[in-house]
Amino acid sequence: MNIMTDAVWKFKVVPKERFDDEAARLAIRQLQRKPASVVGLATGDTTNGMHRTLAEKIVQEKIDVSCVSVCNLDEAAGLPDDHPARGISRLKRMLYDPIALKPEQIVCFRGQPDDLEAECRAFEAALARRGGIDLQFVGIGLNGHIAFCEPGMPFHAGCCAVELNAGQREEMRRKFQYASLDDVPTRAMTMGIKSIMHASRVVLLAKGSHKAGIVRAALTGPVTPELPASVLQLHPRLTVLLDDEAAAGMAESK
């Protein structure tokens, strides 16, 4: 189903058992088309299974990843480099280590830089040296955020440091089982909306019935900074991959 008249949109709904496989397949196709691709990855419940599946497929199918570069969308600040709550730690465990990526193939924010804004400039420069992102995967939060771009962040924002709000910190406390909210980082570094929109191709991933309402609002409602993911409607090469539960709201909007 194409939900916009612009034919470059791809929209696919799969049963939830096939979601991780389909998402991983999108990355594999990119690597087959262009082995020196720069692929941007999001962390979270939506993408954990995809990353594990992608690692398995790369190993089983002997996909050459020697020229690929990867980057992650965002990172909490103030955590030691090997802290388990860091996006890079999780990506290393699920994907980068199993496929033996070398450190020079990985663009990431360091955990404890002295100057977060300078770290963001360095991150952007590292991506620019690689020619920019070919394929960027993004998840969507229940309030429509993508990366750490919360409602209200201007669309022209590049990679930047952000303060984490109470809701984001509480979610991190829950997900990473921090003993106390006081231990949860208060700041993060994130690709901005502009950086995400500069990727040659963006894949929006969502699974689960809890995402159905926000997916529908993001893809069929007004494009507004109050719902950051709505900006993806303006991306010329957007692929939307949903499981049948996350797509439930789209069927209602037909």
Q: Could you list the active site residues? A: 74, 143, 145, 150
Q: How far is the CB of 149 from ligand F6R (least distance, A)?
A: 8
Q: How far is the CB of 184 from ligand F6R (least distance, A)?
A: 15
Nearer to ligand F6R, 13 or 138 (CB): 138
196 and 127 in contact (C-beta within 8 Å)? no
Tokens of 26: 């999108």
Measure the CA–CA gap between 47 and 158, rounded to whole angstroms. Answer: 23
> Which stretches within the chain are classed as H helix?
19-33, 45-60, 87-91, 116-129, 166-175, 193-197, 212-220, 248-252
Q: Dihedrals φ, ψ of 70, to 5°? A: -125, 155
Site for ligand F6R in 27-86 (CB under 6 A): 42-46, 73-74
Nearer to ligand F6R, 87 or 111 (CB): 87
In angstroms and rounded to an integer, the radius of gyration of the C-alpha atoms of the chain is 17
Residue 15 corresponds to which amino acid? P
Measure the CA–CA gap between 72 and 138, rounded to whole angstroms. Answer: 10
Residue 245 contacts ligand F6R per CB under 6 A: no
Residue from 40, 111, 139, 249 binding ligand F6R (CB under 6 A): 139
What percent of the residues of the chain are helix, what percent strand, and what percent coil, each to the nearest 5?
40, 15, 40
Q: How far is the CB of 75 from ligand F6R (least distance, A)?
A: 8
Q: Binding string, 189-228, against ligand F6R, x = CB under 6 A?
A: ----------------------------------------
Q: How far is the CB of 144 from ligand F6R (least distance, A)?
A: 10
Residue 155 burial by Cβ neighbours in a 10 Å radius (0-12, 13-18, 19+): middle
Nearer to ligand F6R, 146 or 202 (CB): 146
Residue from 147, 157, 161, 217 binding ligand F6R (CB under 6 A): 147
Q: Binding string, 86-125, against ligand F6R, x = CB under 6 A?
A: -x--------------------------------------
What is the total count of residues that contact ligand F6R (CB under 6 A)? Answer: 14
Measure the CA–CA gap between 134 and 131, rounded to whole angstroms. Answer: 8
At a CB cut-off of 8 Å and minimum separation 6, what does 182 contact? Answer: none
Q: Which residues are at the interface with ligand F6R (CB under 6 A)?
A: 42-46, 73-74, 87, 139-141, 145-147
